Structure 1
Amino acid sequence: MKFCDLSLSEEIESNIWKKARELIHRNGFILDQEVEKFEKEFAMFCEASDCAGVATGCDALLWAMEGLGISKGDEVITVANTFIGSVLPILRAGATPVLVDCDPLTQQIDAEQVESVITPRTSAILAVHLYGRLAPMDQLLEIAENNGLALLEDAAQAHGARYRGKRAGSIGHASGFSFYPAKNLGAWGDGGALVTSDHELSTRIKRIRNYGQKEKYIHFEKGWNSRLDSIQAIVLREKLKLLDEWNERRRHASKWYYEQLEDAPVITFCDDDGNEPVHHLFVIQVSERDKVQKKLQRQKIQTGIHYPVPIHRHKCFENEHFAAGKTFPEAEKQSAELLSLPMHPNLSEEQVDFISQKLKDTCSESSNDKST
């Protein structure tokens, strides 16, 4: 049983190859009209005014921070149970990450803890929308506004999700999306986008991503090479047409999981009021997680762990002041107990039934092993 199924219909593949051949024939490899069209369409999808396609989701966050003037001496608050790609852009910008723990009920950043760690050096809050659910944006937006902070969104796992009716990417000052192939909206390689309704910021990012030039060989600032590939833009445009439908299929599969696992000895996580998730991942909390995962693997059921190491425990950060000696009990607990079950738009009710039953059988076996 695949953890993630990236297969496409013949019609979608045919459309992609047709447009790719046209692009090749016109030599439109770099920042072709396909990139501009995708930027307009994705901004509209996110209900924002502007989008700048870049090389990766990490770059989108980095350029957002650079565009907002976040640099050495500044602090950016984010959550400890995220992927390292949320934190590296903060460090690359020259700023210092300030970690807080997650809410045990939702797995998202704990807004009350955010407020408690604000200092005169704090310049931004980076809200990470984990697993396809949005962070508590009402609370975070109020905290940001009351303290004069930028609110950024790491929306790499939340393409199309909503919070109180607003799309991921449209709530904060700017947001970063990843188009890694396994995302809800995935390319055929790497890709990313910055989404914002700040036209001036978007215009600057479009300069930064292209060596800082406004026109060829005329450089206005120290930029970089971080452009969304034109062929990837073709792939993304075709997939974007079906994203709402694919997200709805994920919701249906998740609902079926909830029903089948209602009597299982696992914890499934609730959505806080107003969240309309897109279920990039379906994550459960289970005791003896590693044993359960190995037994499911023997049943040919692929699973994942998101994430096995919380940010402050990574080897690369052991001498960093923001991580060394820090403890975040909930993030540490989750790193030992969370398990991601198969989730993709092609997942059927029969497959969910099979996975759920095998999971319950496996948990029962583990319980019997402990009692003997």
Structure 2
Amino acid sequence: MIPFSDPSASYKAHKKEIDLAIERVLKSGWFVLGQEVEAFEKEFAVFHNESIQSVGVANGTDAIALCLRSLGLTQGAEVVTSSHTAVATIAGIEQAGCSPVFADIDPSTRCIDPKSIEQVVGPSTRAIMPVHIYGQPCDLKSIQSIAQKNGLQIIEDCSQAHGAEINGEKVGTFGALSAFSCYPTKNLGGTGDGGVVLCKSLETAEHIKSLRQYGWNNERESIKPGFNSRLDEIQASILRVKLKHLSTDNRKRRAIADQYDDAFKDLPIILPQRSINELHAMHLYVIECENRDSLLKYLRNRGIGASLHYAMPVHLQTGYFKRIRGSTDLHNTESFYKKNLTLPLFPEIGQEAIDEIILGVKRWFEEK
């Protein structure tokens, strides 16, 4: 089976560097929040912007919650976001004690629609959390205008968009804060859980560093309620290795997407949108077509690990059904979920596999 993603291939591609990094940590005898985490935080910050601060945390869900907590947003504060996202986005908002509110997506980008945001902003709304879904940057210029008009904070969910850009500026640098997941399947992924918060001041970074470890000060006194959300040294050392290769790996992803785009351009398929002023991270290559389930079954029978991202929007899942404001007017979101299909794409995928995927899609259209 050709997998839609293969974290083990990433390890094999950088095996020598990763093995040396892990050995360095094991020899050091320090395994949580040490020199590797500090070095990764500095390198990840500089990767985005010299003026940015970075804080390593346990996972992307915690990163979202810590962003909100650091802004003082807790019980009763509404955060407008998209139902078209990994459920972790919503879990992180609720973990902070905030209330998610759903806005619809723009069908061309699959990202949150600024017009829909305006329609759901209410008296309790305190923030907007745009999700750069699949590596596609959101329309942050319009979102920034809405936020400024309504006195709202922006927290970017960049968990699928490591290295994506808008007009040469990396996503994660536009909002007050941003959250990243470093789960193994991400463009920048470890061999376990990990997450990062980006912020714009040393003071905010120190506040989040306190929150991630029980609200401790330097004397290990809890001066505020906090979390246990610590990035371990082994994951940090691996992420340091992979960060050096992130831009190259993202270019490989886009080159594979170029092959798919060219092969499928004459088929009745909606392809991912890529704008001239944006750099797509191409975390996932997601198409839209009629009779999606038939194509999915056909590809899997041919040994192609096509998948769904996602099988169901958050607002229709049992744990969230009919309890989140904005859930009743998500026409574009629900329409998209009838057609979406993810094709395998990762930097190490071979040309033979790419050719087989292209052939499989074309054959289905010929035979149906």
Tell me whether the two structures share a fold, i.e. TM-score over 0.5: yes
CA spacing shift, 1:94–1:11, aligned 2, 3 Å? closer
One-letter identity of the residue aligned with 2:29: N
Give the aligned partner of residue 370 of structure 1.
none
CA contact (8 A) 1:76 1:123 kept: yes
Give the aligned partner of residue 108 of structure 1.
111
CA spacing shift, 1:74–1:343, aligned 2, 3 Å? same
In the TM superposition, what is the alpha-carbon distance from 1:358 to its structure 2 partner?
1.1
**1:341 and 2:343 are equivalent in the alignment:** yes
> Gaps (5+ residues) in structure 2?
none
Give the aligned partner of residue 123 of structure 2.
120
Residue 46 of structure 2, aligned match among 40, 44, 61: 44
In the TM superposition, what is the alpha-carbon distance from 1:189 to its structure 2 partner?
0.4
Give, in whole Å, the separation in 2 of the partners of 1:3 and 1:217: 44
C-alpha RMSD of the superposition: 1.6
CA spacing shift, 1:289–1:246, aligned 2, 3 Å? same
CA contact (8 A) 1:253 1:348 kept: no
CA contact (8 A) 2:309 2:340 kept: yes
CA contact (8 A) 2:54 2:196 kept: yes
One-letter identity of the residue aligned with 1:181: P
**1:59 and 2:62 are equivalent in the alignment:** yes
CA contact (8 A) 1:34 1:234 kept: yes
CA contact (8 A) 1:265 1:360 kept: no
Instruction: List aligned pairs for 1:73-112, cutoff 5 A.
Output: 73-112=76-115
CA contact (8 A) 1:153 1:172 kept: yes
CA contact (8 A) 2:22 2:237 kept: yes
Give, in whole Å, the separation in 1 of the partners of 2:96 and 2:6: 35
Give, in whole Å, the separation in 1 of the partners of 2:211 and 2:28: 26
Residue 139 of structure 1, aligned match among 122, 138, 142: 142
Residue 23 of structure 1, aligned match among 22, 25, 34: 25
CA contact (8 A) 1:260 1:353 kept: no
Give the aligned partner of residue 369 of structure 1.
none
Give the aligned partner of residue 267 of structure 1.
270
CA spacing shift, 1:353–1:19, aligned 2, 3 Å? closer
- SS of 1:333's partner is helix
**1:293 and 2:296 are equivalent in the alignment:** yes
Residue 360 of structure 1, aligned match among 356, 359, 362: 362
Give the aligned partner of residue 4 of structure 2.
3
Give, in whole Å, the separation in 2 of the partners of 1:113 and 1:272: 21
Instruction: List aligned pairs for 1:243-254, cutoff 5 A.
Output: 243-254=246-257
CA spacing shift, 1:150–1:363, aligned 2, 3 Å? same
- SS of 1:58's partner is helix
In the TM superposition, what is the alpha-carbon distance from 1:125 to its structure 2 partner?
0.3
In the TM superposition, what is the alpha-carbon distance from 1:145 to its structure 2 partner?
1.5
> Gaps (5+ residues) in structure 1?
367-372
One-letter identity of the residue aligned with 2:59: T
In the TM superposition, what is the alpha-carbon distance from 1:218 to its structure 2 partner?
1.6
CA contact (8 A) 2:257 2:285 kept: yes
CA spacing shift, 1:255–1:321, aligned 2, 3 Å? closer
Residue 315 of structure 1, aligned match among 288, 308, 318: 318
Per-residue CA distance 1:319-339 (angstroms, 9 max, x = gap): 514266x14111111112100
Give, in whole Å, the separation in 2 of the partners of 1:271 and 1:284: 13
After the TM superposition, which of the residue ranges 12-21 and 205-214 deviates more from structure 2?
Answer: 12-21
CA contact (8 A) 2:78 2:98 kept: yes
Give the aligned partner of residue 233 of structure 1.
236
CA spacing shift, 1:35–1:203, aligned 2, 3 Å? same
After the TM superposition, which of the residue ranges 91-100 and 55-64 deviates more from structure 2?
Answer: 91-100
In the TM superposition, what is the alpha-carbon distance from 1:196 to its structure 2 partner?
1.3
Give, in whole Å, the separation in 1 of the partners of 2:341 and 2:58: 30
CA spacing shift, 1:273–1:110, aligned 2, 3 Å? farther
TM normalised by structure 1 equals 0.94
In the TM superposition, what is the alpha-carbon distance from 1:291 to its structure 2 partner?
1.4
CA contact (8 A) 1:313 1:323 kept: no
Instruction: List aligned pairs for 1:201-240, cutoff 5 A.
Output: 201-240=204-243
- SS of 1:19's partner is helix
- SS of 1:242's partner is helix
